[in-house]
Structure 1
Amino acid sequence: ASGRVQSNMTLQIIKANMNVLNNFNHVRNTESYAHDNVILNKNESKLICNHVISLLKFVDEIEMDAEYAF
C-alpha cells in the first residue's frame, strides 16, 4: 500500500469504486429530482447514496488526519 492508506484491500476498494463515483453524476442528472426525470426507486437510490457517502466520508477522514498530522 502507499501513502496514507495502509491496506492493499483499501486500495482495491478505492480503485473498484472509481467508476461508481464517475457515474454518480449521470444518475444524479438523469434519475433524480435534480432535473425533470423518471425517478429511480427508493431502494436503489438509498444504495447509491449510502455507498457514495461512505466513500466520501472515508476520503474526508484521510484528509482530516493528514491536516492534523502536522
Structure 2
Amino acid sequence: TAAHKGISKEEFFSKGQPCFRASPLVKQYGWGVHFNHEEKMAIYPMESEEYQRFKQDSSLKHIQSMRQKR
C-alpha cells in the first residue's frame, strides 16, 4: 500500500493499479470497472446500459483486463 511504502496518495494514483484488472470479476465474469474523478470505483455488468455507454465514450481511457498467463 501507499502508506506502507511511504508514497503520497497523488503519487500512488498517478499510475494505473492492476488490482481489479487482474480480478476474476473482470476477467471471467465480464464486469466493467469505472473510476470517477474523485477516485471512487463502480462496477457494471456487461449487459447494463451504463457499461455500454462507458464502452462507447471515446473521451474515457479504456484499459483491458490483465491476461492470466504469460
Q: With the length of structure 2 as denominator, give the TM-score of the two structures.
A: 0.28
Q: Which has the higher strand share?
A: 2
Q: With the length of structure 1 as denominator, give the TM-score of the two structures.
A: 0.28
Higher CA-based Rg: 1
Q: Which has the higher helix share?
A: 1
